[in-house]
């Protein structure tokens, strides 16, 4: 008898402990910031999933970037991470930079047409057919591609292809060589390859070598000592610069372009001497959630997805074997259910706090289920806010960007389009 009560006591204790381990309630209402943003969206008669940029937060991020670069490096704007011409224009004005990095042929055409003063560096090597399409589709006159467009070449074979295209089109082209400084995503991996490429470029009457691009995001991403990885990447960069200088002698370009960096790493060069003279960054200016990194702690969030709530249920039901009740019994953050207009973006719920998708119900691009606690008082037509995990693809999915400024939506910025205009 005594033994039985000990066992029962133990079981009750175990269950009690289990109950204490239940997830804590996280729900709440929108903060005053998101309340004000909701009012601004309503006043602008917005009614569908919308990408919002907070202009002030964007400009504060630009200032943070400028403070770190401190004039030590030129700044190149990563256009794929800020994929809208008016957005790029704001960043160009605020930074005083006309240097852009592009990754997609139709967008190169758009940028060359809209910003004839731009200096464009490709961020990845393009199939030579894409380069040919750029020249075929480019109708503007002022942008001088022979001096303002730097194709990125990664292998001797690609140099040969671009040389043939330059001959076919009778055009001069700038050639920037991609270096592998540790990322191992292609680019020059040894001296022989580099010299073969330089030789081919030198022999070509129409190609001109303009510099290097060596991207090193692995420095902060791989586990271990980031400073050690940075120094290794820079040693490799310096080595290739030395090899090319020796090979080219007087033909080493006077205004050589030596590009490195990206949002995750750019603050690692605040001090010290490095072999490059220009740094790229884009994402840190809008700060999607993949960029919540210690190395970007002083950048603020400047972009959200806003989407209307369509339906609210004061419980959770899962079709089939309904374990919804069990889920909400265990987890107070699954007490209520909301269905939103659209969903399944590369994004995470941000406000109200404590919302999450339901792994048993799954995702929907049409009406996404979100669960939250009884402290979340959203009603149909209220707004839910999410943070994109990345900007480059997500920003393109919502039509015009709504620009939030001083409590209202001040502008609508079209995003890049696939269609030649
Ligand atoms: C070549 C290159 N440079 C720089 C960047 C940095 O872009 P962001 O600052 O948006 O991360 C990228 C991003 O993919 C890249 O591919």
Rounded to whole angstroms, the Cα distance separating 162 from 168 reads 10
Q: Would you call 31 helix, strand, or coil by DSSP?
A: coil
Q: How far is the CA of 341 from the centre of ligand 1 (A)?
A: 31
Q: What pLDDT does residue 322 have?
A: 87
* Residues in the chain, pLDDT under 70: 1-15, 420-421
Q: What do you get for the CA distance between the two ends of the chain, in Å?
A: 86
Q: How far is the CA of 319 from the centre of ligand 1 (A)?
A: 43
Q: How far is the CA of 162 from the centre of ligand 1 (A)?
A: 24
Name every protein residue with a CB atom under 6 angstroms from any ligand 1 atom.
78, 81, 101, 123, 215, 262-263, 280-284
- In the structure encoding, which two tokens stand for residue 259, read together? 């590009």
Q: How far is the CA of 262 from the centre of ligand 1 (A)?
A: 5
Q: Using CB atoms within 10 A of its CB, is residue 284 exposed (0-12), middle (13-18) or buried (19+)? A: buried
pTM listed for this prediction: 0.94
Q: Could you tell me how many residues make up the chain?
A: 421
Contact 115, 100 (CB under 8 A): yes
Buried residues in 153-163 as b, exposed as e (16+ CB within 10 A): bbbbebbebbb
- Ligand 1, atom 4: nearest CA belongs to which residue? 262
Backbone torsion region of residue 114, taken as left when φ is above 0, otherwise alpha when ψ lies between -120 and 50, otherwise beta: alpha
Tell me which of 212, 282, 302 to substitute to probe ligand 1's pocket, judged by most ligand atoms within 8 Å of the beta carbon: 282
Rounded to whole angstroms, the Cα distance separating 222 from 233 reads 13
Q: Would you call 397 helix, strand, or coil by DSSP?
A: helix
Instruction: Write the pLDDT tens digit of every residue in 305-331.
Output: 999 999 999 999 999 988 999 999 999
E-only strand ranges, 233-302: 257-260, 278-281
Q: What pLDDT does residue 13 have?
A: 66
Q: How far is the CA of 279 from the centre of ligand 1 (A)?
A: 10
Distances (CA, A) of 410 to 44, 274, 339, 394, 413: 9, 41, 28, 21, 10
**Phi and psi torsions of 401, nearest 5°:** -80, 135
Buried residues in 384-396 as b, exposed as e (16+ CB within 10 A): bbbbbbbbbebbb
The CB density around residue 335, as the number of other CB atoms within 10 Å, is 20
């Amino acid at each position: 008898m005594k033994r039985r009560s000990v066992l029962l006591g133990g079981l009750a204790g175990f269950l009690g402990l289990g109950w204490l381990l239940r997830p804590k309630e996280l729900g709440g209402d929108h903060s005053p910031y998101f309340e004000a943003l909701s009012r601004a969206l309503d006043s602008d008669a917005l009614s569908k999933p919308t990408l919002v940029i907070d202009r002030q937060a964007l400009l504060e991020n630009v200032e943070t970037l400028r403070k770190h670069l401190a004039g030590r490096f030129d700044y190149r704007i990563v256009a794929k991470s800020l994929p809208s011409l008016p957005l790029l224009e704001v960043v160009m004005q605020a930074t005083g930079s006309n240097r852009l990095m592009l990754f997609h042929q139709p967008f190169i055409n758009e940028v060359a047409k809209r910003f004839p003063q731009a200096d464009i560096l490709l961020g990845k090597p393009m199939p030579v057919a894409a380069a040919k399409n750029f020249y075929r589709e480019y109708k503007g006159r002022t942008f001088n591609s022979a001096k303002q467009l730097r194709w990125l070449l990664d292998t001797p074979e690609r140099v040969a292809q671009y040389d043939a295209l330059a001959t076919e089109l009778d055009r001069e082209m700038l050639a920037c060589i991609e270096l592998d400084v540790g990322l191992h995503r292609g680019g020059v991996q040894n001296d022989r390859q580099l010299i073969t490429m330089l030789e081919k470029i030198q022999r070509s009457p129409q190609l001109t070598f303009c510099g290097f691009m060596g991207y090193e995001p692995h420095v902060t991403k791989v586990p271990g000592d980031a400073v050690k990885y940075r120094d290794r990447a820079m040693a490799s960069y310096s080595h290739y610069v030395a090899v090319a200088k020796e090979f080219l002698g007087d033909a080493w370009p006077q205004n050589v372009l030596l590009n490195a960096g990206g949002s995750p790493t750019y603050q690692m060069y605040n001090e010290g001497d490095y072999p490059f003279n220009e740094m790229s960054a884009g994402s840190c200016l809008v700060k999607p959630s993949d960029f919540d990194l210690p190395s970007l702690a002083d950048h603020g969030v400047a972009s959200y997805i806003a989407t209307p709530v369509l339906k609210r249920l004061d419980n959770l039901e899962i079709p089939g074997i309904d374990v919804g009740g069990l889920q909400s019994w265990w987890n107070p953050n699954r007490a209520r259910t909301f269905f939103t207009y659209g969903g399944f973006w590369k994004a995470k719920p941000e406000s109200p706090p404590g919302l999450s998708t339901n792994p048993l119900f799954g995702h929907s691009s049409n009406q996404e289920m979100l669960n939250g606690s009884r402290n979340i008082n959203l009603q149909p037509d209220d707004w839910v806010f999410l943070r994109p995990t990345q900007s480059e693809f997500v920003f393109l999915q919502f039509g015009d960007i709504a620009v939030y400024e001083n409590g209202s939506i001040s502008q609508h910025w079209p995003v890049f389009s696939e269609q030649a205009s």
